[in-house]
Structures are given as structure tokens and as C-alpha cells.
Amino acid sequence: MTLSFNSIIEDARESLSFLKEIGCNNFECSENSLKIIEKWNFKKLKSEIALCNKCKTAQNRKNIVFGEGAFNAKLIFIGDAPKIEEEKTDRPLTGEAGILLNKIISAMGLSLETVYICNILKCKTDKNIKNCEEEIKNCLPFLKNQIKKINPQIICTLGTEASKALLNTKAGITALRGKFHNYYKIKVMPTFHPAELIENENKKRYVWEDMKKVMAIINQPR
């Protein structure tokens, strides 16, 4: 992913200013300090999203659903849009689909402490995700900022709409899954959304095939 020189300088300036605010007067790059900076960067982005009112969904939202997991995750799972329960808890992919995703993550030898989970949309919408072109357009820059800050090794998009939005394609999930695509220099593996697996258990084996390919890459050094 290519960053402009001005963007790099601005990020560095903000991070150093924050370190000064919390009492770090010397240039310090310990693991603990870097974690503090990462958390602060995400808190700042979350505040920006909370102030967004570009869509009608902002008028009725109770909470944004930002995302959760490790700020330095090698793997990001991206769903489509928050549901009612997700809005209440500010946690992405909860409920039955979330439980199934957690089982998949555990079967991969990973945990919620080592991956990151978020959605394309940050607000709940009453519309079908297929009809949310404007909302996706407005939310996509926030998602891309999350990805930039985490800089994962692999992204796993869950379902057709998340895959189409990130990869800028009109192809459906059946055509996209099973092979890696590229988002800048990051590998992307589209697969079926966990909700689809609840409706059709036969698709579980396809998801596991996709996850085995993901695991093969994650287990390699960068």
C-alpha cells in the first residue's frame, strides 16, 4: 500500500505529540509505547467515524460498530453491515453467525486476540446491503484507514457485498472465493459469510478449504 510522504509525516507528528502529552519526552520505541500509539490512532479514527453524518443511517444510529481485535493482526475478517445486536454491543459479527466465525477462528489455531474483525458499514441500516451503494461509498474510506493502520498479511472478506466493495468488482462470492486476490500488496481471500453457512451447511467445506489456504500464508514469515 503506497502512502504519500505528507501522510507519513503527519502520522509521525501526531504520534510524537501524543507521546509528549502522556509524558514521554524522549524518542522511545518500546513495544509498550508502540501499543499505546496504535490504540490512540484507532481511538482517533473511531471518533471521526462517530461524527460522520454523510448517510441517513447516521440520523437513527445508536452506536457505530467500529471493530475489535488485535491492532497488529496478521488477519482481518470483514463482514458487510452491523445487525441490531451488534449496534447494541458495539461488537461486529455477534449472534449465531459470530459464534460460528469464532469456531472457524479457533479451528485455525487463532483467537479474537490475534485477528481483527470489522464490517464494511459502520452503522446499522434497515436497507438490504445490496442496496447500500451510497453507504458503502461513504464508509469505505474509514475501512481502508483501518486496514492501513493494521497492515495485515491477509484480509478475509465475508460474503458477496464485502468482497465486491473491497475488491471493486461486480463478481459474486461463488466466482471470487477459493483464490487469492490483491488489495494493494495485501492478499485477499473472499469466502462465504457465516450466516450463509447456517442456511446451507454444505458450504462449510468450501469455507474450510479457503481457510486452509489462508493458514498456509499466515504461517509463513512476512
Please answer whether residues 61 and 81 qualify as being in contact, where contact means their C-beta atoms are separated by less than 8 angstroms: no
- Burial group, residue 170, by CB count within 10 angstroms (0-12, 13-18, 19+): exposed
Q: How confident is the model at residue 183 (pLDDT cuts 50, 70, 90)?
A: very high
Q: Could you give the C-alpha distances from 126 to 81, 86, 98, 109, 191, in angstroms and in order? A: 10, 13, 20, 35, 24
3-state secondary structure of 172: coil
The kind and range of the H/E element at 153 are none
| Domain boundaries of the chain, sorted by first residue | 1-51, 55-218
What b-and-e string marks burial along 45-83, b requiring 16 or more CB atoms within 10 Å of the CB? Answer: bbeebeebeebebbeebebbbbbebbbebbbbbbbbbbb
Q: What is the pLDDT of residue 40?
A: 56
Q: What is the pLDDT of residue 13?
A: 65
Residue 18 confidence (pLDDT) above 60: no
**Mean of per-residue pLDDT scores for the chain:** 84
Q: Whole-prediction pTM value? A: 0.81
Q: Which three cell numbers stand for residue 30?
A: 518500546
Q: What is the pLDDT of residue 220?
A: 62
Residue 28 confidence (pLDDT) above 70: no
Residue whose C-alpha cell is 458487510:
80
Q: What is the pLDDT of residue 210?
A: 97
Residue 7 confidence (pLDDT) above 70: no
- Report pLDDT digits (tens) over 34-89: 455 555 567 788 888 888 888 888 777 888 899 999 988 999 999 998 888 888 88
Q: What share of the chain is helix, strand, coil (3-state, %, to 5)?
A: 55, 10, 35
Q: How confident is the model at residue 19 (pLDDT cuts 50, 70, 90)?
A: low
| CATH fold label, 55-218 | Uracil-DNA Glycosylase, subunit E (3.40.470)
- Report pLDDT digits (tens) over 99-126: 999 999 999 999 988 999 999 999 888 8
Residues in a beta bridge with 77: 117, 156
- Report pLDDT digits (tens) over 119-157: 999 988 888 888 889 999 999 999 999 999 899 999 999
Please answer whether residues 195 and 163 qualify as being in contact, where contact means their C-beta atoms are separated by less than 8 angstroms: no
